[in-house]
Structure 1
Amino acid sequence: MDLKARTFKGGIHPPHFKKATEKLAIEKSQEPKMVYIPMQQHIGAPCESIVKVGDTVKVGQKIGESKAFVSAPIHSSVSGKVKKIQRMDTPTGKATTVVIESDGKNEIDESIKPKGDIKNLSREEIISIIKEAGITGMGGAGFPTHVKLSPPSEKKIDTVILNGAECEPYLTADHRLMLEKPEMVIKGLEAIMKAVDVKKGYIGIENNKPDAIEIMTKAAYDDEKIEIIPLETKYPQGDEKRLIHAITQREVPSGALPMDVGVVVNNVGTAHAIENAIETGMPLIERIATITGSGIKNPKNLLIKIGTPFSEIIEECGGFKDKPGKVIMGGPMMGLAQFTIEVPTIKGTSGILILNEQDAKIPDPDPCIRCGKCVNICPVNLQPLFISKLSLKKMYDEAESYNPLSCIECGSCSFICPSKRPLLQSIRVAKKEIISKRKKS
């Protein structure tokens, strides 16, 4: 193993804020009495409900599917009765939601059976298992995993990377997963490697997690095809293009995908979900999330059933410590602020961050002093100050010449700005306007 920590150009060093939960073992969350399962939890086409009000369902039963390739089926996380199917609030917007009242029995659907040993499964069988299990990227992006593992024949993949960086402040779910289930992560990586027919796999872990590096190295000791790579602790080290450059020195061109340089990147949580689907037959019906922040009484790492309301999870962690200033799904840099806690846990809920009023307060911006710090640290080599300035003036055509669509929305520019300018927020607006204009034309 190469002990020198690898990294990328640019980036920032925000405070970690991980001490509250990094030593806390994963606990199984309390059983929800009612689950609210959205039919859109992934990038791509939403699913349509294949159950109706009054139906009895079991754990792991498929309740939503789509004929589109870029989509992922959705399954029940409880056994019980379908009470409602209607559009409801979710952490990412409104979506058709199947509401199921749990009967508390947790009866498992008859279709749930172990799929056998990875060694005896073909690559097509592995991809089919992943698709049918509804597995999506567990790092937060929510891209259907079977699509990632089905590149066009002209794209020759030779490397698989698992992202164990978890560079987002506050979050420790991936860290705990690597400490507690290292063999399952390794087996999941082996399944991914077989699915894309490659002989080299890497797991990148930031060097602020030496225990995870040690445990994962031991777990991979007997597999010469897998290497654990220590990474410099720096944000956004977990972004897939930064990860690819740090580990392989390959540059993914602007507008291109990892497959264009022969690489597939997945999260360690995704690898674990794949191995679980193969080993037990259980689809993706629960996930680990970190519940933390200055506004929660008892921070925890919880294994939560998909569809459990945020309000119940917060209550299980002792409730709010003070008056909450902000509730965010994910971390403070790339997470999504919520306007209500009556939204359900979804496949992409890597954390629920509760900040008190003081920590959530956003300072009033001062004028730009053209210091260039946002340019120096941008991991994509953009000029955030100019994109932001043009966006705030609604000059989106002019902003487009600065390549805002390459922005990975990591928030490093906003973090480093001494004038506390709303750089990321205004760049997001520019991106949306430019994409909308392109669709119309």
Structure 2
Amino acid sequence: MLSKPFFGYAKPRFQYELLSTALPQPASVASTGAMTVLLPREMGPAPSPLLKPGTRVKTGQRLTWDDQPGPSVIATATGVIQSVAPHLGDYGRKFTAITIAPESADEWDEQFAEASRQADRQLLIDYLCNVPGAPALDKLADPKKPVDTIVIYGGDTDLLVDTNLYILKSQTAMVNEGIHALKEIAGVDKILLAVPSDSFQNFDGHFEADVRAVPNTYPHGQPLMVFYQLFGKILDQGERFEDHGVLFMRAEAVAAIGKAMTDGRIPLDKVVTVLDKQGGKHLVAARVGTPIGAILGRFDISLEDRDRLIFGGPMTGTAVYSEDQPVLADTDAILVQDSRDIILTSDYPCINCGECVRICPSKMAVNLLVRFLEVGQYQEGADLYDLYSCVECGLCSFVCVSRIPILQYIKLAKYELARAVPAEEENE
């Protein structure tokens, strides 16, 4: 519940960087080592009848746990399954990691090409949820929450990241093909393309979508802020965008859908922004499933003891702990921090300096909210201090004098409260 009257967001402080018209060509990274893709389901106690070490798979083949309806993932290399193992993601998300030892050349699976001749919504869900950009197409299949609006964001949500804006500028035709496919196949007529305001004139009138400008100041690219700017609404406790009939997608995801329907072949190359220890920026094209180590090696980036690897940008990224971690369909950036430059978080108490309150775009009493979250009183924090007004931009953590990991507390609180909702429904 929201306890305060909501009257808009405060003025943010940072500017997103915009790519120049002379677009850089992403460096190509070919991994000759093992490729790992993540099936979005928990590994069962019994072995899978289909995913077994020694089984040969083809590039573009749809991999499922068994023959029953359920989640799938696309093989990004031709080769033999090396291992099948459990994989734990952020906030309790469970996957099955499928590692493939690739052969020297691709042998493409033709099932998608054949099925795409008579494309329907189920084809999109079965084959294209794992394309670069990770479109949540499975949410189109929920009859209880029909999607009537798709919002495509053509910028990047975090600072220093160029991935989605690069795709929008360099693959304009494929983005438009993807919009056309979503209208024709998914049956969603209302599609909004939100772009940074400084780029609005470059895109208005060039797409089968209603192009809208959003401010080029951080954190206006965060989905919750885009949602507010487009619809004048915020999400209450337990709500998701789909509860309002809205589905968010990255520009990269829509371009991948367009390319898949045009070529009859599932795109596998993910564009990633790499931020090195010296502050250098590189654009990379690598297949989904490529280990981070192969990308770092492409730029001679070496990791020393206590250096930090982060998936995402400097404000909202998440730490990962191994160079073997694969690039995922939603990996927009890899940030490498030198151990000497890392400012560690602490358990030092809040000193009530008020910096988090002054910088918060949602005008929340962050200093009071975090006191409840630190001791696990998540519902009290939500009821009294507007947990769900938070847009998860990370500005509060950035300015915190006491180095409290405020953003992580907020994300954990939302996760725990979301977990409690199904349990309460079962007990009713």
The answer to whether structure 1 residue 131 and structure 2 residue 125 are counterparts is yes
The answer to whether structure 1 residue 82 and structure 2 residue 81 are counterparts is yes
Per-residue Cα deviation, 1:304-330 (whole angstroms, up to 9, x for no partner): 112211111110122238777311011
Aligned residues: 412
Q: CA deviation at 1:177?
A: 0.8
Q: CA deviation at 1:404?
A: 3.2
Query: In the aligned structure 2, how far is the partner of 1:203 from the partner of 1:366?
Result: 43
Query: In the aligned structure 2, how far is the partner of 1:315 from the partner of 1:435?
Result: 39
Give 3-state SS (helix, strand or coil) of 2:138's partner: helix
Q: CA deviation at 1:301?
A: 1.6
Query: In the aligned structure 1, how far is the partner of 2:243 from the partner of 2:72?
Result: 27
User: Within 5 Å, which residues of 2 pair with 1:177-192?
Assistant: 177-192=167-182
Q: CA deviation at 1:375?
A: 4.0
Q: 2:106 maps to which residue?
A: 106
- The change in CA–CA distance for 1:324 and 1:56 in structure 2 (over 3 A counts) is same
Per-residue Cα deviation, 1:163-198 (whole angstroms, up to 9, x for no partner): 112131121111211121101111112222334544
Q: 1:343 maps to which residue?
A: 325
Amino acid at match of 2:136: T
1:172 to 152, 155, 162: 162
Give 3-state SS (helix, strand or coil) of 2:371's partner: helix
Give 3-state SS (helix, strand or coil) of 1:241's partner: helix
Query: In the aligned structure 2, how far is the partner of 1:156 from the partner of 1:33?
Result: 40
Query: In the aligned structure 2, how far is the partner of 1:315 from the partner of 1:422?
Result: 31
Q: CA deviation at 1:433?
A: 4.8
The answer to whether structure 1 residue 59 and structure 2 residue 59 are counterparts is yes
User: Within 5 Å, which residues of 2 pair with 1:314-393?
Assistant: 314-320=296-302, 325-362=307-344, 367-370=349-352, 372-375=354-357, 377-380=359-362, 382-393=364-375
Amino acid at match of 1:401: D
- The change in CA–CA distance for 1:135 and 1:438 in structure 2 (over 3 A counts) is closer
Query: In the aligned structure 1, how far is the partner of 2:421 from the partner of 2:291?
Result: 37
Query: In the aligned structure 1, how far is the partner of 2:328 from the partner of 2:226?
Result: 25
Give 3-state SS (helix, strand or coil) of 1:291's partner: strand
The answer to whether structure 1 residue 206 and structure 2 residue 205 are counterparts is no
1:291 to 258, 262, 274: 274
Query: In the aligned structure 2, how far is the partner of 1:127 from the partner of 1:103?
Result: 33
Q: 1:37 maps to which residue?
A: 37
1:146 to 130, 137, 144: 137
Per-residue Cα deviation, 1:137-161 (whole angstroms, up to 9, x for no partner): 965xx5x62223235367572x332
Percent identity between matched residues is 20
Q: CA deviation at 1:67?
A: 7.9
Query: Are the equivalent residues in 2 in contact too, given 1:391–1:430 (CA < 8 A)?
Result: yes
Q: 1:3 maps to which residue?
A: none
TM-score, structure 2 length as denominator?
0.81
TM-score, structure 1 length as denominator?
0.79
Query: In the aligned structure 1, how far is the partner of 2:52 from the partner of 2:112?
Result: 21
Q: 2:13 maps to which residue?
A: 13
Amino acid at match of 1:277: A
Q: CA deviation at 1:436?
A: 5.5
Q: CA deviation at 1:59?
A: 0.7
Amino acid at match of 1:162: I
- The change in CA–CA distance for 1:31 and 1:190 in structure 2 (over 3 A counts) is same
Per-residue Cα deviation, 1:57-110 (whole angstroms, up to 9, x for no partner): 2110122357898x6411211112222223357788774322211111111113
Q: CA deviation at 1:242?
A: 1.7
- The change in CA–CA distance for 1:10 and 1:197 in structure 2 (over 3 A counts) is farther
Amino acid at match of 1:133: Y
Q: CA deviation at 1:116?
A: 6.2
Q: CA deviation at 1:203?
A: 1.4
Query: Are the equivalent residues in 2 in contact too, given 1:115–1:280 (CA < 8 A)?
Result: no
- The change in CA–CA distance for 1:81 and 1:266 in structure 2 (over 3 A counts) is same
Query: In the aligned structure 2, how far is the partner of 1:150 from the partner of 1:433?
Result: 26
- The change in CA–CA distance for 1:177 and 1:65 in structure 2 (over 3 A counts) is farther
Gaps of 5+ in 1: 1-7
Q: CA deviation at 1:268?
A: 0.7
The answer to whether structure 1 residue 300 and structure 2 residue 282 are counterparts is yes
Per-residue Cα deviation, 1:102-138 (whole angstroms, up to 9, x for no partner): 1111111132427668xxx6xxx44222112141596
Give 3-state SS (helix, strand or coil) of 2:248's partner: strand
Query: Are the equivalent residues in 1 in contact too, given 2:39–2:71 (CA < 8 A)?
Result: no
Per-residue Cα deviation, 1:198-217 (whole angstroms, up to 9, x for no partner): 44432111235x3xx45534
Query: Are the equivalent residues in 2 in contact too, given 1:59–1:108 (CA < 8 A)?
Result: yes
2:251 to 250, 264, 268: 268
Gaps of 5+ in 2: 1-7
Q: CA deviation at 1:416?
A: 3.8
Give 3-state SS (helix, strand or coil) of 2:143's partner: coil
Query: In the aligned structure 2, how far is the partner of 1:219 from the partner of 1:393?
Result: 51
Q: CA deviation at 1:347?
A: 1.5
Give 3-state SS (helix, strand or coil) of 1:270's partner: helix
Query: Are the equivalent residues in 1 in contact too, given 2:151–2:193 (CA < 8 A)?
Result: yes
Amino acid at match of 1:327: L
Q: 1:5 maps to which residue?
A: none
